[in-house]
A and B are shown apart, each in its own frame.
Chain A
Amino acid sequence: MQFREALKTIQENSSTNRPTCRVLLVTGFTPLHLQTFLQAHLQRLLPTKQLVVSTRLYGDLAETLFGIESSTADMCAVALEWPDLDPRLGFRQLGGWGPREIADILVGAESRLVTIRESLAAVPSHVPLAFSLPTLALPPIFHTPSWQLSAAEIRLRNAVGELALRISEKPNIRFINAHSQQVAEPPAPIFDFKGELLAGLPYTSSHADRLGQLLAQILVPAQPKKGLITDLDDTLWAGIAGEIGPQSVSWDLASNTQLHGLYQQLLRALAEQGVLIGVASKNDPDIVEAAFRRNDILLPRDYVFPVEVHWNAKSESVAKILDTWNIDADSVVFVDDSSSEIAEVQAAHPGMECIRFDAQDYAGAHSLLYRLRDLFAKPTITEEDGMRRESLRTGGVFRAGAQQHGASYENFLREAESKITPDFNNAAANRRSLELVNKTNQFNLNGIRYTESEWHSKLSLPGSFSLMVSYRDKYGPLGVIATLVGQATDAALTVNTWVMSCRAFGRRIEHQCLKLLLERFPAPEILLEFAPTKRNGYLREFSESFLGQKPDGPFKLSRTVFLEKCPMLYHQVEMDHD
């Protein structure tokens, strides 16, 4: 982004009535360009907010960090540079670079890092903080040649690493990875020596842009994709299994097909962090199963569900997989070696990210591995992530069982041995609740997304309540699958956030959620602050079952109508926390 573009972005989004998102940028230097670029990048990531990036007095980074605790900032970004640890580690002070000074610098820097660590420890847990460790080169203060690390520099870098290590235990504090493949420094210079000496502006414009973008991406992480659909021949493995046989396809160094082994290895890792992996392949099912039975396969067969193997169009397979997963195309990545298959799937599912696996392009394949990691990246892995694959499989069993029972669906539900565990007023402490709110589409009361800070504020409002619902039945656990938030008094009960995972559909959990609220609170009716979105048709239909018509906006549901129209619920309710 150019500086003019950043200014334009900020101007175009100023003086609106959108809710304000306050961001505090903490630096020890004049953050002129960084502040502008950070605000512009954040504005693009949060188009429904009005971003205000403010700074404090420059020069004392640790002192400013201590002020975060009492500030009204919704988010913070910190750019640490070497002079913040000791001014002699920069170019604007003339305090000496001799051996004696270096010893003193090291002691002072370590002490300073302890102060910074203590100030970071005091940052409230609901304020996301993006931290950039020093990006600029140290000045020539060490006695060794610049290409050799001196013991003093190792000690200094180790002290900074120690700070990051200790503070990284706080989930709201996230560090920029300057060594990431995707953010490797460009050839453009990052240090503006003249700017630093004449105006105290150490970053080149391009570096400020890059750093501003990374800080923004860390503060407002992209929603991770949920599923990956992969082709098999010349993608998951090298060779056409139907032609050379399942024993001859390969994915190893000896066959010069290690790329495919690395791809398998990555898919396995993604599956273990909760990413859904499906297969769409034009192939013979028996041959595919034989290949998956090989002992050396890195992506086991039971990590993949569903497997669509036949000779029909790939887009048809993809549609079936999306239906089984019950997620939208824009949450899914499709990988195939064939450009024509990519085009066919892309045309049928325009929102899907379709990526070509080109085994001849080693640089491209190398980038692909990182790109896939980034598309599915999450700051933290929850217990529910580990359950997702198995719960989808058992969900299939659940649906099959329901269909077998046909007219006696009631019998099926009654015999499912379902257990629901409600958890009132713990949503603020459970990161899963906000994750669910920000990624759920189909059963979402109004589609409103929240930043961590907004979520914390919402739950802190007087009279607020939250309800998280966990579910399990004889087919397996689903974990926390619903979150409701609202306000309650004796006379009125309002729900303004209600989401439920699509994995939980068809079990009358939504009915149980309302029942739990009506049992908990005495109000005669619930005001549900519904708003139609492009995707929340499931919730709209659920509401229609009580109202007799699909709602177009907020609606009230009386206790009487609910009890009259609620079907029989067979869940065993286990009160866990209260």
Chain B
Amino acid sequence: MTDLRHRLAQCFSLVFPGLNEPEVYSASSASVAAWDSMAAIILANVIEEEFQVKLDYNVLPDLVSFDLIEDYLKSNGNGTS
């Protein structure tokens, strides 16, 4: 498992404490009832702090799953293992 995936999973666990580990890695706004617009902003803030990045509000509506966020972070220079 990459360091990025592990750190991102920690962010998800913090924002969605009800998810178990497999659920975290497959999480999406469709599968997680608590993933509403407020939770999306909280998740973005936590990710910003963890990865020292600035997530654009404009891209938040597109970042609707663990995988998509992982891809976004990798494509923005946070793909270190």
Contact = CB atoms under 8 A, between A and B. Distances in A.
Interface of A: 2-4, 7-8, 11, 14, 30, 32-33, 36, 194-195, 198-199, 201, 205
Contacts of B58: 198
A2 B49 contact: yes
Contacts of B33: none
B14 A194 contact: no
Given A8-B14, A199-B57, A3 B46 contact: yes
B38 A32 contact: yes
B14 A198 contact: no
A4 B46 contact: yes
Given A4-B11, A7-B46, A11-B14, 12 more contacts: A3-B42, A3-B46, A3-B49, A4-B14, A7-B15, A14-B17, A33-B45, A195-B57, A198-B57, A199-B41, A201-B41, A205-B45
Contacts of A32: 38, 41-42
Interface in B7-50: 11, 14-15, 17, 38, 41-42, 45-46, 49-50
A205 B44 CA distance: 12
B42 A4 contact: no
A2 B58 CA distance: 23
A173 to B, nearest CB: 29
A56 to B, nearest CB: 15
A7 B42 contact: yes
Contacts of A2: 49
A38 to B, nearest CB: 14
Interface residues of B, number: 13
Shortest 6 CB-CB distances between A and B: which pairs? A198-B57, A3-B45, A7-B14, A4-B49, A2-B49, A4-B46
21 contacts: A3-B45, A4-B11, A4-B14, A7-B15, A7-B46, A8-B14, A11-B14, A11-B17, A14-B17, A30-B38, A32-B38, A32-B41, A32-B42, A33-B45, A194-B57, A195-B57, A198-B57, A198-B58, A199-B41, A199-B57, A205-B45
Interface of B: 11, 14-15, 17, 38, 41-42, 45-46, 49-50, 57-58
A11 B17 CA distance: 8
B76 to A, nearest CB: 18
A2 to B, nearest CB: 5
A4 B41 contact: no
B7 to A, nearest CB: 11
A14 B18 CA distance: 12
Nearest to A197: B57
Contacts of B11: 4
A199 B57 CA distance: 8
Nearest to B45: A3
A3 B50 CA distance: 10
B47 to A, nearest CB: 10
A34 to B, nearest CB: 12
A32 B57 CA distance: 15
Contacts of B41: 32, 199, 201
B57 A4 contact: no
Contacts of A199: 41, 57
A59 to B, nearest CB: 15
Contacts of B14: 4, 7-8, 11
Contacts of A195: 57
